[in-house]
Amino acid sequence: MEMKISFPGGKKVNAEFSGMIVQTDQPARYGGEGSAPSPFEYFLASIGTCAGIFVLSFCQERKIPTEGMSILQRVEYTPNEAGKPVMDRIILEIHVPAHFPEKYHNAVIKVADQCAVKKAIMNPPKFEVKTVVS
């Protein structure tokens, strides 16, 4: 997969791929306009939405209504040796309504655990960054 990363102005950075454009910006406190999520916010959102599509598919396959369901994602930080906060834990709470079958409570956790984004974080790729003159 290839993505073209472009710089449309200000603190905005876009990713173009598959005929789509993902727009990012920085919050005003970091010199941006706050017109779009930051790249890190997209990263965090990709975790919850990835788990979400697995949960949604699980429910759809079993004809379980998803009305009233949601996933609450929280990120906990802890200070590193220099005192700077670093991500320590990502918690996903799958909120189900009373009508959600109890026999599927553990299964829906296992399904959310299949998230490809989470798996990529658990087994990180090697990065190669280089300059190409064009």
Q: Which domains does the chain have, with CATH numbers?
A: 37-122 (3.30.300.20)
pLDDT at position 108: 98
pLDDT at position 90: 97
pLDDT at position 26: 98
| Per-residue pLDDT tens listing for the chain (134 residues) | 999 999 999 999 999 999 999 999 999 999 999 999 999 999 999 999 999 999 999 999 999 999 999 999 999 999 999 999 999 999 999 999 999 999 999 999 999 999 999 999 999 999 999 999 99
Label residue 73 left, alpha or beta by phi (over 0 means left) and psi (-120 to 50 means alpha). Answer: beta
